[in-house]
Amino acid sequence: MRFLLDTHAFLWWLIDDPKLPENIRDLLADPANEIYVSAASAWEIATKHRKGKLPTGEVVLPDFRGVVLDNGFDELAITSAHMVTSAMLPGTHNDPFDRILAAQAIIENMALITIDSQIETLGVLTRW
């Protein structure tokens, strides 16, 4: 299967945070699954880290792509279709990072790995 990691899930994987459930760890470690990390997560981590809101961001900065690849994941670029779709999604979830991730997962036919149950209001398939 194909999965897109929400930013927090990616960071929790990197720092071995116990908040990441065992079933998700198994899913991420399974070589039969294709795991993607969005360029939107790079933007979110860098933005929040710069503002002092995400000290764990330093584990991926400044070599975001390298960290993604070193963990056996693939980087997902953001396209204009992703951006337009993110703005047109239904639901009340207004976080721009989450809207982009949801749009990418929908367009690319992936489930979004996230703890955020509110993101489902955008019409995206989630796993947790």
Task: Give the DSSP letter string of 7-74.
Answer: HHHHHHHHTT-TTS-HHHHHHHH-TTSEEEEEHHHHHHHHHHHHTTS-GGGGGTSS-HHHHHHHTT-E
Q: What is the pLDDT of residues 65-90, one digit of tens each?
A: 999 999 999 999 999 999 999 999 99
The DSSP 8-state label assigned to residue 126 in this structure reads: E
Confidence at residue 117, expressed as pLDDT on a 0 to 100 scale: 93
Residue spans of the domains in the chain: they are: 2-127
Q: What is the pLDDT of residues 102-122, one digit of tens each?
A: 999 999 999 999 999 999 999
Determine the topology of domain 2-127 in CATH: Rossmann fold (3.40.50)
Confidence at residue 56, expressed as pLDDT on a 0 to 100 scale: 86
Confidence at residue 74, expressed as pLDDT on a 0 to 100 scale: 98
Confidence at residue 102, expressed as pLDDT on a 0 to 100 scale: 98
